Structure 1
Amino acid sequence: MGEGTEWVMGVSQLQETWRRPYLTDAPVLLVVCHEIFKSVGATQVRMFHHNEISTAIAVGMMLSSIQYVGLNTVVTSPLNAGSQILRLLRRPANECVLLLLPLGYAAADALVPDLKRKPVEQIIKLY
């Protein structure tokens, strides 16, 4: 079996679906946005090229804190709903939704896939 076939078979075990009840069931939904540009003057626009990376790093630290205090979350992308979310929250046009983080305690019947990490020898090659 080739690598592509293995990947497809592995992902099919996750039972992906469009249903995301954790987004509506969670008591708190954190919407993580970042600026993509800023108007400097009447005709000038300053683009931000690294805000997405910086925001993602900050979210990583926040995830550690969330877990440390005993709460649960799952990192979810807004898919095609980003512009609708911005409009609903009345956010400015220079922002972009990066991630959605439903925050709360895991449901009693929550199932987490039993994923195994690859051995480090399979992902790192020393030269």
Structure 2
Amino acid sequence: MPEPVDRVPAPTYGVPPDQAPARAEELARDLARRRTVRDFAPTPIPDGVLEWAVRAAASAPSGAHVQPWRFVIVEDAQRRRELREAAEAEEREFYARRASEEWLDALEPLGTDWHKPFLTDAPALIVVFEVHQGLSTPRPYYVKESVGIAVGLLLATLHRAGLATLTHTPSPMRFLGPILGRPAEERPFVVVPVGYPAPGATVPALTRKPLEEVLVRV
């Protein structure tokens, strides 16, 4: 049996109870401004921002604390071109043959198609992989749940830093591992283009469900 993990005092956050609602509201209102952006400027990302965002993501809870994630930052222009070409090939096939009519109907109002210029326009991509059991990696537990929480923290941190993001999941994503030289136990989860919105960039005029539709108290 593994040795039990040492125990340390739980952290204290120093937020007085009477300030908690305002702190929660401030963060919630800021995160509600986050939108998916598809048009990026070539403006460089300040040094250190991506590293801090990955640190935040890697602080996420995970099943049995296995931390089954890998974050690959892709800034090289040639590598981003290779990813775009491979992604568009898969997406072209997906939109033409594999996607259901229901799914295509749901996407039509948003105007998305197989063209993915953001993969080369954004100055950086963060490709997130699930890490499964391999020669040097342990068996993970609740992989998708763990990696999903980590990606949420990643997006929130990048937003707080003033950067725009997009979550891209080409179907299928098997090409990502070979292009990025990742081992077989790492399986693609999502591609996150990161950067500043291009001048004149727009987003769909969407509304989110009101609280009473998403919150249930029992």
TM bucket, shorter chain = 0.7 to 0.9
**Structure showing the higher strand proportion among its residues:** 1
User: Are 1:55 and 2:147 an aligned pair?
Assistant: yes
Distance 1:112 1:85 in 2: 27
Mapping for residues 1-127 of structure 1, pairs under 5 Å: 11-39=107-135, 47-80=139-172, 82-126=173-217
Kept in 2: contact 1:36–1:94 (CA 8 A): yes
Distance 2:148 2:216 in 1: 27
Distance 2:120 2:112 in 1: 18
Distance 1:9 1:86 in 2: 31
- Which amino acid counterpart does residue 181 of structure 2 have in structure 1? R
Kept in 2: contact 1:78–1:97 (CA 8 A): no
Kept in 2: contact 1:36–1:49 (CA 8 A): no
| Identity fraction in percent | 34
Distance 1:8 1:92 in 2: 33
SS in 2 for 1:56: helix
What does the per-residue CA deviation read over 1:18-73, in whole Å, with 9 as the maximum and x for residues that have no partner? 11111111111111111122247xxxx96434122212211111111111111111
Unaligned runs of 5+ in 2: 1-102
- Which amino acid counterpart does residue 38 of structure 1 have in structure 2? G
Instruction: For residue 109 of structure 1, report the CA deviation from its aligned partner.
Output: 2.6
Instruction: For residue 123 of structure 1, report the CA deviation from its aligned partner.
Output: 3.7
Distance 2:189 2:206 in 1: 25
When normalised by structure 1's length, the TM-score is 0.76
SS in 1 for 2:191: strand
- Which amino acid counterpart does residue 166 of structure 2 have in structure 1? V
SS in 1 for 2:174: helix
What does the per-residue CA deviation read over 1:75-106, in whole Å, with 9 as the maximum and x for residues that have no partner? 111322x2211001111101101010111111
- Which amino acid counterpart does residue 108 of structure 2 have in structure 1? S
> Root-mean-square deviation (CA), in Å?
2.5
Kept in 2: contact 1:35–1:95 (CA 8 A): yes
Q: CA 1:119 to 1:50, structure 2 compared with 1: closer, same or farther past 3 Å?
A: same
